[in-house]
């Protein structure tokens, strides 16, 4: 790293496990229960791989600036593929207030901020709320994760989303249970189209 490469060195950037935008891996995890307009993931998550290292730094090492940086790279990658995000809002997957207090920040929000800064799409962190804290998703299968996430999210009072096009931003899609729960909540609120933007997909 140097002053021109403050977050990820140039050689590491070239080695990032970028996936094809027409990859169906992310969409396949949603099992047809929701109907997003588009689903985009930037990196392929592999254990001990570069994507995992980035997410570990972002999630556990208080490296919010890395999240903003990689969010910008994500948007630039979309733009290079002639993908245009025509969205009213970017909405990061929220953390429960207790988790947010403990960690001090929301890693999905950092990624979303990078996308917002680069795209000038409005970032709104006050629309989707984490109503309850689910138990740990670790070692749970897809069905158990879906059940665990039921009723975890809610829309803030006095928010009108009817007809809006929104982008939901998360750090990593594993089984898709968290994203699915968020999207079901947004669909129930009357949004027009949902675009899923996941930094990485496992």
Residue 99 makes CB contacts below 8 A (sequence gap 6+) with 130, 133
pLDDT of residue 49: 92
Cβ atoms within 10 Å, residue 35: 10
CB 115 within 8 A of CB 90: yes
Q: Report the C-alpha gap between 133 and 179 in whole angstroms.
A: 15
E strands of the chain, at which residues?
38-44, 89-92, 128-130, 153-155, 165-173, 193-201
Position 5 pLDDT exceeds 70: no
Residue spans of the domains in the chain: they are 10-201
Both tokens of 98, joined, read: 């207790």
Position 103 pLDDT exceeds 90: no
Banded model confidence at residue 124, pLDDT cuts 50, 70, 90 = very high
Among 22-26, 40-44, 63-67, 177-181, which is the least confidently predicted range? 22-26
pLDDT of residue 98: 86
Question: Of 3.90.79, 3.30.40, 3.40.50, 3.30.70, which CATH number belongs to 10-201?
Answer: 3.40.50
Position 177 pLDDT exceeds 80: yes
- For 91: left if phi > 0, alpha if psi spans -120 to 50, otherwise beta; the answer is beta
- For 21: left if phi > 0, alpha if psi spans -120 to 50, otherwise beta; the answer is alpha
pTM exceeding the 0.85 threshold for the entire prediction: yes
Banded model confidence at residue 18, pLDDT cuts 50, 70, 90 = very high
Position 118 pLDDT exceeds 60: yes
Both tokens of 57, joined, read: 């730094």
Q: Report the C-alpha gap between 188 and 68 in whole angstroms.
A: 30
Read off the pLDDT of residues 43-93 as tens digits, 9 standing for 90 and up. 999 998 999 999 999 988 889 999 999 999 999 999 999 999 999 999 999
Read off the pLDDT of residues 136-168 as tens digits, 9 standing for 90 and up. 656 566 667 667 777 889 999 999 999 999 999
């Amino acid at each position: 790293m140097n002053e021109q490469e403050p977050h990820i060195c140039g050689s590491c950037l070239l080695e990032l496990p970028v996936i094809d935008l027409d990859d169906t891996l992310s969409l396949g995890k949603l099992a047809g229960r929701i109907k997003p307009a588009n689903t985009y993931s930037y990196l392929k998550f592999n254990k001990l791989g570069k994507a995992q290292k980035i997410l570990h730094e972002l999630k556990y090492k208080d490296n919010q600036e890395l999240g903003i940086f990689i969010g910008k790279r994500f948007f630039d990658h979309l733009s290079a593929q002639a993908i245009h995000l025509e969205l009213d809002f970017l909405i990061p997957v929220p953390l429960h207030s207790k988790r947010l207090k403990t960690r001090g920040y929301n890693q999905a929000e950092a990624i979303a901020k990078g996308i917002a800064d680069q795209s000038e799409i409005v970032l709104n962190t006050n629309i989707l709320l984490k109503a309850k804290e689910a138990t740990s998703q670790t070692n749970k299968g897809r069905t158990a994760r879906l059940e665990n996430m039921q009723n975890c999210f809610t829309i803030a009072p006095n928010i009108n989303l009817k007809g809006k096009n929104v982008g939901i931003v998360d750090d990593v899609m594993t089984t898709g249970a968290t994203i699915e729960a968020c999207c079901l909540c947004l669909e129930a609120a009357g949004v027009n189209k949902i675009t899923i933007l996941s930094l990485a997909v496992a």
